A and B are shown apart, each in its own frame.
Chain A
Amino acid sequence: MDDQERAFLEAAMPHLDVVYRVARHTSRDHHQAEDLVQETYLRAFAAFASHRGPSTKAWLVTICINLARSEGRRRARRAVETSLPEHYEPEAPGVNVPEEALAKIDRASVSRALAQVPEEQRLAIVLMDLAGHSASEVAEMLGCPRNTVLSRVFRGRQRLASLLVGEDVNRELS
């Protein structure tokens, strides 16, 4: 193992879990996610000599989401973000979200529901809630204003909660 490879692995491997989480929820399935992670690390390794950024994690995640978006465009599967009105209107007014019940929903159901959230909202959620980036970091990664990121996260979480209520009801009925 040469010095460059060792330095890269020491800098990049601690972020494997985070990169996988991002890949997993921007891919169709875990096979594609693992391919995406591998591709991310290969691209990063090829560019490691010129990497000067302060955060290796943010750099890796940015490569990952750019690859995911390229793949999405290639497959013409890119979801269209649903436009919401300027004023917030819950999808199911009057229906309270049973917080305790949602906490008991299994991981697969949460993952399925998240996959149904519009892409831009889902990406903002993944980067903030699953990868642990701040709104400012996500804004820089996505090239959009910080408030836009916060708005997408808010709308995405509302959509997710609404979908999970459906999951919970369906589970109880079954």
Chain B
Amino acid sequence: MSCPEERLVAFLAGQLSSEEERRFDEHLLACEQCWAAVQADRAARLALEQLRQPAPAGLQGRVAASVALAAAEALKGPVVAGRHLTQRHRLAAGQRRRSQRRAWRAPSLLHRAATRPHVRLVAAACLLVGLAAGSFGWVASRSAAPEPAQVAAVAAMITPGSPPTTALRAGEHLVIGGQALVVSAYQLEGTEELVATSARPFPVPSTSHLLTGSSPHAWMATKGRLSMYGVNRRGGGESMFVVAAMPIAEMPQMAARLGLI
């Protein structure tokens, strides 16, 4: 004989009156089927207790970083508001950020920067154009490779504790995985950052997290102590990614101070 399910459900949910509950208790003594169901319910709840686990370490930082990036982009306007920046705005913004950014301050670079100030200005403008205009329409797709050659090569150039090469300080032109890119070193408060730019979108590591909520072009990834943040753009614009030995949660602040967002 089968018993109505709704009575069992009501009993387990504590919805029966005290009199109904007393009668159901008596029923349980006689009905093996309902008694087995009650036992199974309790066992399942007990087992489920094991799944009440906290979020993985690092997820909070990653989420906070993505929110910070979204907030920064929202303040700039192009992503959330969907407005294109004009070339005049981009250059003006690039120029503003140039004064906030502190490039690597080795003596040779100081000389170079003094003699070739337009180089930094153009680089800043290109990065901003990449970030601003790259916000539209392109959805990054993750590479089949865990770490594309371009990303692996730039990440390998970071050597915490050692100054970057002269070429990197000046902006090194390279071809990696068939893609032409420029890698430049910066330093903020003793932490080295490498910024790679290219006319083509960079392949995105398969382990990266795409920032699809507010900016379909952006991605973040970690590799040991290194954090990476990138923005891709299709249609011939500048794409970029930055690598630094810092927690992912600190990347938005660093990217903002470098004038990348």
A residues in contact (CB < 8 Å) with B: 1-2, 4-5, 8-9, 13, 16-17, 19-21, 25, 30-31, 34-35, 37-39, 41-43, 45-46, 85-90, 93-99, 102-103, 105-107, 110-111, 113-114, 125, 129-130, 135, 147, 150-151, 154, 156-158, 160-162, 164
Contacts and interface: CB of A to CB of B under 8 A. Distances in A.
Given A16-B55, A88-B37, A158-B41, A151 B209 contact: no
Contacts of B207: 31
B50 interface: yes
B125 interface: no
Given A16-B60, A107-B53, A110-B51, A96 B39 contact: yes
B214 interface: yes
B232 interface: no
B62 interface: yes
Contacts, number: 170
A52 B3 CA distance: 44
A134 B70 CA distance: 33
Nearest to A46: B214
Nearest to B8: A88
5 contacts: A17-B54, A41-B66, A46-B213, A113-B47, A161-B41
Nearest to A13: B60
A162 B43 contact: no
Contacts of B67: 5, 8-9, 41-42, 45
A172 to B, nearest CB: 16
B59 interface: yes
Closest 4 interchain pairs by CB? A42-B213, A87-B2, A161-B40, A20-B55
A130 to B, nearest CB: 6
A88 B11 CA distance: 14
B228 to A, nearest CB: 15
Contact of A154 (B12, B70, B210, B213): B12
B36 A110 contact: no
A135 B13 contact: yes
A20 B13 contact: no
Nearest to B1: A87
B70 A42 contact: yes
Interface in B1-54: 2-6, 8-10, 12-13, 32-33, 36-37, 39-48, 50-54
A85 B207 CA distance: 44
A27 B54 CA distance: 16
Contacts of A135: 13
Contact of B51 (A25, A43, A94, A99): A25
A103 B55 contact: no
A127 B39 CA distance: 21
Given A39-B212, A88-B2, A88-B4, 19 more contacts: A17-B54, A19-B55, A31-B207, A35-B210, A38-B62, A38-B66, A38-B209, A38-B213, A42-B66, A42-B211, A46-B213, A46-B214, A97-B40, A99-B42, A110-B48, A110-B50, A114-B48, A129-B48, A151-B5
